[in-house]
Every structure is written in C-alpha cells, then in structure tokens.
Structure 1
Amino acid sequence: MHPPRAAAAGRTASPTTARLINDRLALQLLQSDGPLTAGQLKTLTGLSRPTVADLVERLQAAGLIAVVGESGAQRRGPNARLYGIVADRAHLVGLDLRTHSVTVAVADLLGRVRAERTAPIGADDTPDAAVATALVAVDKALAAAGAEAPHTLAVGAPGLVDPATGRLGATDWISSWHAALVGALRERTAAPVLLENEVNLAAIAERRDGAARDRDTFVLLWLGHGTGAAVVLDGALRRGASGGAGEIGFLPVPGTRALPSASGCDGGFHSLAGSAALCALAAEHGIRPLAEEAADRGPLADSPPAEALVRAAVADGDAGAGFLDALAARIALGAAAVCAVLDPGCVVLGGEIGRAGGDPLADRVADRLARLSPLRTDVRAGTVGGRAVLLGAVLAACDAAQNELFGPAAGG
C-alpha cells in the first residue's frame, strides 16, 4: 500500500466540492490498492471515520463500489468489510484502425480487457463494406464481454484529428472508411466516441504501462508503415493547434532527393525512415527476413515488411550490424530535430520498427544522437508491444468514463 495521504479537501472547499474530492480520492485508492476496508481508507486518506463512512455509503448508493469480501479470517462485522469498485458498472470500447484491419477491445471500468476481436478489411472493400465489417466486430466483442451497450468508445486512427471538431482531417494518405466508421459509431450510440491519433494513444500506453512510466516529459517516435511522433510535456499530451504536433514525416532532413510539400511527405523524414525506405536500405545491406517470419505472417498481418527485416538484422548479430547502424543514423536525424526544439530528455522508439529493433537499435540511436546534439537524451525501446494503440484507446476510454462517473481528478 501507499503511505498515509493527507485529506484532499482543503479548508476553503465548499461541502459539495469537498465531498467530490474525497470521493474521487477514495475511488483512486480503491482502483490502485483495493479492495480496502473503511479503516484502510481512513488511514490512506487521512479523513475522519465519519467522513469515510459517509463517502462509502454515498459511493455504494451510486453503484460505484460494493462489498467484495472480508479482510481476514479473524475479523468479522462491518469493520472487516472489503470494498471494491464495481468494474461492470461500465463497459468501454477501444478500437485500433489500420489500413487493412480493425481490432476491437471491450474493457471494464478498471480498464481490464474482457473481450477482443480483430477483423480484416479487404483491399477492394468499399467504405460501406469496411464500416459494416468493423461494426460487426464491435458487436461481437461487446457480446463476448457480456455487455449490452458501451459506456464510452475511443478510436485510434492514423491522420490528423482536429482538436476543435474532434473529427479526422481529410488527407490523401488515410483510408476513407476510417472517418466513415467514426461517423457510424456516433450515429448508432448515445455513448461518447473519442477520436485520437494512433501515435498519441500509443504514447498514453507507454506512459501508463511501458517504457515511459517514470517520465512526465518524453517523445514517442513512431516507426512503422509511416513515421510520426507523440509529444508529452509535463504529463500532458500536446496535440498542437491543428492536431498536427508530431507529424515528423514532413520534417525536412538531409539525405533525401526532394522536399516535402503540403500534399505529401515524400522528401521528408518519412523518405528516410518509412517502411519502403527501410526495405530499400535492408536490400543494400543484404538483409532478408527470417524464414519463420515469412511463415508467421497470416492474412490479418498489418505490419510493414521492414519489421521482419529489422528483426532479422538483430538476430544476425554482426552480420546485421551495418544495417542497424545505418538505420540508427537515419532515426537519429529526426530525433535530433525533435530534441533541439523540445528537449524532452527521453525518446521512446515505438511502432513496429521500434519494437522489432528493441534495445540494440535504441542503443545505436542514443549513441548517434549524442554526436548530433548536446542535449542529454535517454533513448528507450518501447515495451508495450504491438497492442500499444489498442491499449491506449482502452486507457483513454477508461479515463473519460471515470471522469464522468467518479468526478474529475484533482487538478484535471
């Protein structure tokens, strides 16, 4: 357990505000340390026994907590009752939209995934057919989780999400069915539908459960089909005025034959570190995917071929070192530009390429970055894995639902 905490409500808070703050504090403790007895809540919050008794009664009446057991065999009665959050009070849906697939996860109020479904989207499917396939996947996942309807949905998709409208911007490089699916979800349910850039969601996952758990400020550099970045400063995700913070694929860098434009990132960092560029670089170094990699790529595989090549280079040891060195030099160019502007102190390599390269690639990028920049920067391989976007979507939905049901977090 955590050490005792001071009561959240200050002397100047109104009674209503004090109750809301204390309720939220108790719920946070039950989420992180629970189940707990009323006595344990008193110790951890620093609140008086009558105040704890009142909030327990209030939260039970609201259907947010319930008695889930007793604290020990030697104790009986009211003081031994263990209280826990009613996780089934709300079901949350997270979606990870890719070009040729959609993955849906249904979680409870504590963020625990209860069911998951992945459905392929055919290259020749019309937008209407793709949307229909995705909606069926949502319904199947909800049914598998025993949920009648979602409380909150969060969708992760590539592309710009306008902070003012919450809509996916019209760009040439995203699938048209993505925006159509978000619209269909909003039409068929009264539940809030949150839309977020996929890289931003991956950053949320890395901060909660991955490589950036000890960092309030960091940049997630996404290396996959394309390139991107998510910026977290002082614990807050920064999206930019038009939702374009982190569109590093458009960053002009040396080593390309042209400059990016408003209509495409060819000539930018994407031309050095995107999947197609890395496949060409691997061919120059004689890197080929491992035999088992090719066999394992099933019909739902939606990761770039470059991922298999990077994994093969890591497995090849000295034989793959030249390719990894060249790859690290390219990645470091983008990382150096980000660090010169933001000085985040930590760069996490995410996406399929970052995950495949692991520590061997991260160490090389750190070494190259140290030569390019005087700013001390820790470079880490992402640890959440291939479900980072999906996990981030679940966490975003969970935060939104808890803020509604529990009340806004202190300072939020």
Structure 2
Amino acid sequence: MNDRLALELLQEEGPLTAPQLKELTGLSRPSVADLVERLTGAGLIEVVGESGEQRRGPNAKLYGIVARRAYLAALDVRTDSATAVVADLLGRPLAQAALPVDAVEEAVDRLEELVREAGADRLHTVVIGAPGLVAPGTGELRDTAGLPAWHRDLVAAVQRRLPAVVVVENETNLAALAEQRVGAARDLDSFVLLWLGDGVGAAVVLDGRLRRGASGGAGEIGFLPVPGTGGLPSATNCDGGFHELTGRAGVAALAAAHGYRGPVEEAVAGAAGPAFLDALADRLALGAAAVAAILDPGCLVLGGELGRAGGPDLAARVARRLTTLSPVPTEVRAGDLGDTAVLTGARLAARESAQSVLFTA
C-alpha cells in the first residue's frame, strides 16, 4: 500500500525527493529509504535529476516513474476517421497519426509503425474509443447505431495482432474522463457530459464514478423522444429523437433557417446571431431538463466540437432556459477540450489501466 501511494504521488506531483516523499506519505525516513530501494529495484522508479536546492552537501536526488517501463496506445475511432497516439507510462504522447479507414489490416500496420516511431518494441495497453454501445464486462462493440462494419473489424484485428491488453470504451465516456481529469469538470464529483458533434451523446459521472448502465447504454440521449421532431426514434434509428434537433445536421438546418449557411462551428460560435443561439439553447435545454429531472447531476458540461465552439455564451443561454423547465438546480459549463477529448480520455484511460497492473505487480 505504501509503494502504491508513493507511485501515485509521483504520478500526480511529478519527480520528488526522498524528504518530499516522507512528508507526503507520513512514513519514517527508514521506511521511505526501503520504499525507494524496492521501487528502484523493481524498475518502477529511477533518479531523474536533483532538487536544485542549495544546502550543505549534495543536492537531494529526484525520483520519478520510469516512463519507458511500458508503452500505451489510444485510438479515437469515428464513423469516417480513426486517429491513434502512442504514449509512455506517464501518458505523455510520443507519436500520433491518422489511420486508414475501411482498411483494417492496413490500419493495424500503421499502428505498428507508429509504435516503432515512438521508440517502443511493443504495447502494454491499448484503449479504443468508439461510438455506439459497449457491453460492460466483455467490451463488445454492439451494432446498434448503424456503424460501419470496419469499426468492429478494427477492434478484432487489434486484439488479434497486438500482444497487449485491449480495452474498448464508448467515445463519450472517454471524453467525460478527459474533462474530469484535465478539463472543465476537474472540480466535480458528479456531472453529465453532453457531447455535441456529428451526433449527440451523454456520459454520466455520479459520485466520482462513470455510470455505464446495465447494458452499456447509459447516456444514449440521441434516442430521447422530444417535442419538435415530428416523429419518434426507433430502436435502430435516432431520427425523431434528441439527435435530430442537436446533431450537426439539425444544427446546420437551424442555422440555415436563421439565414446562415457557413460552417456549423462558426454558427455556434456566434456568427449566426443571437436569435439562432437562443433557438439552439431551447433545443439543448430539452435534453438537459430530462437529465436534470432523472439524475440531478448538479452540472452539465457541453462537450464536443460544437459544445466548445459555443463556449460560455451558449452554456449561459442553456442554463437560463433550463431554469424555466426544471426545478432542479443545474450549472451548465462549456467543455475545455472539444474534439480532442476522446483521444485524451483514451490516453488517460490507458495510463490508468497500465499503472493499475504494473504498480500492484
């Protein structure tokens, strides 16, 4: 337990001296000395420099995690694109590239090339973020959202060809992890991330834990029946649901109705005018009210490309509209990470997964 605590401190705080480890852990000096010797012998930490403090005698040694002990990969797989990044055990990116789509074996070939470009011989952990339902426990990517077949084929090929731990996670859940660790939700234990991009999704974090639901379907808010669509969604098609109003195509149509036909991100950023933003906020508040009434998360984070483009202005408009629809107090924030959140979340998840294994071995 003491070893794990010290490793977590080195992850969170960066390199530390033995006296700093003593202060932060509350252990005695001999216990810290034994701990440092054990972790150094296990190849988990090493001397990475000196403290630089002026004192009598030599400067104190700085100890840090051996970042090259394991290498990780994170993949962001969209309906029409795929991006991979290779990182070290600290989660620091070393190499990144787009992967060919609809060409599964070539995509894995490119991933293996990326591993070599990063200076690694093999991967310890791979985390793949993909749209759609991911079954808890098995990690199976279910075909419930009309995804291209190559999504599932790519997951299977990575699992077959790479001698690594392969984890599959819903993309919006990974975006929520990123916003929670390094983004707009850093100070929150409970929140819902509303992903606004080509499609719309949600991720639920309550009491510090990501909630996936019994089948992995928690947050499939695009299927939520809402007024204003002229129809109802089906089990295999979210047209007629919240997606129709707030997905990219629906937002573009709303902007066009307000006389703006430029890029959707620019429309959401304010180019389409305040009347458009008010109308979009009205639409978003419908889903936000349902989330607040059922989950009472305390905060809604508008993520994805469009959530970030709307920024605090759109968030404030949604918050004002939400107060007229729901008695449940709910703060609304703009996400910090936008389109990069999925890949960042996958990289952080890979780091945490690998460290949980290596730090307890």
Q: TM-score, with normalisation over the residues of structure 1? A: 0.84
Q: Which runs of 5+ in 2 are unaligned?
A: none
**Helix, strand or coil: the match of 2:241?**
coil
Q: Pick from 326, 337, 343: which aligns with 2:290?
A: 337
Residues 304 and 337 in structure 2, CA contact (< 8 A), matched pair in contact too: no
5+ residue gaps, structure 1, are: 1-20, 290-307
- SS of the aligned residue for 1:66 comes to strand
1:77–1:175 CA distance, 2 compared to 1 (3 A): farther
- The answer on whether the counterparts of 2:146 and 2:236 sit within 8 Å (CA) in structure 1 is no
**Structure 2 residue 212 is the aligned partner of structure 1 residue 239:** yes
1:55 aligns with 2:35: yes
CA distance in 2, matches of 1:314, 1:351: 13
Q: Aligned runs of 1:345-356 on 2, under 5 Å?
A: 345-356=298-309
- Aligned 1:165-176 pairs, distance under 5 A: 165-176=138-149
Name the % identity. Answer: 65
Counterpart of 2:264 in structure 1 is 309
Q: Write the distance in 2 (CA, Å) between the matches of 1:75 and 1:271.
A: 66
| CA deviation after TM superposition for structure 1 residue 44, in Å | 1.1
Between stretches 91-100 and 26-35, larger displacement belongs to 26-35
CA drift at 1:363? 1.1
Give how far 1:56 is off.
0.6
Counterpart Cα distance in 1 of 2:285 and 2:100: 34
Q: Does 1:29 align with 2:2?
A: no
Query: 2:98 corresponds to which letter in structure 1?
Result: T
User: How big is the alpha-carbon RMSD for the aligned residues of Structure 1 and Structure 2?
Assistant: 1.6
Residue 102 of structure 1: how far off its partner (Å): 0.9
Tell me, yes or no, if structure 1 residue 283 matches structure 2 residue 256.
yes
Which position in structure 1 is the counterpart of 2:325? Answer: 372
| Match of residue 140, structure 1, among 83, 100, 113 | 113
Specify the SS of the correspondent of 1:386.
Answer: helix
| 1:182-236 deviation per Cα after TM superposition (whole angstroms, max 9, x unaligned) | 1111111221100000000000000011100000100000111111100000110
Q: Tell me whether 1:322 sits opposite 2:275 in the alignment.
A: yes
77, 80, 83: which one aligns with 2:63: 83
**How many residues are treated as equivalent by the alignment?**
361
Write the mapping of 1:73-222 to structure 2, written as runs, cut at 5 A: 74-75=54-55, 80-121=60-101, 125=102, 130-222=103-195
Query: Where do 4+ consecutive residues of structure 1 move more than 6 Å?
Result: 76-79
In structure 1, what is the equivalent of residue 316 of structure 2? 363
| TM-score, length-scaled by structure 2 | 0.96
Residue in 2 that maps onto 1:401:
354
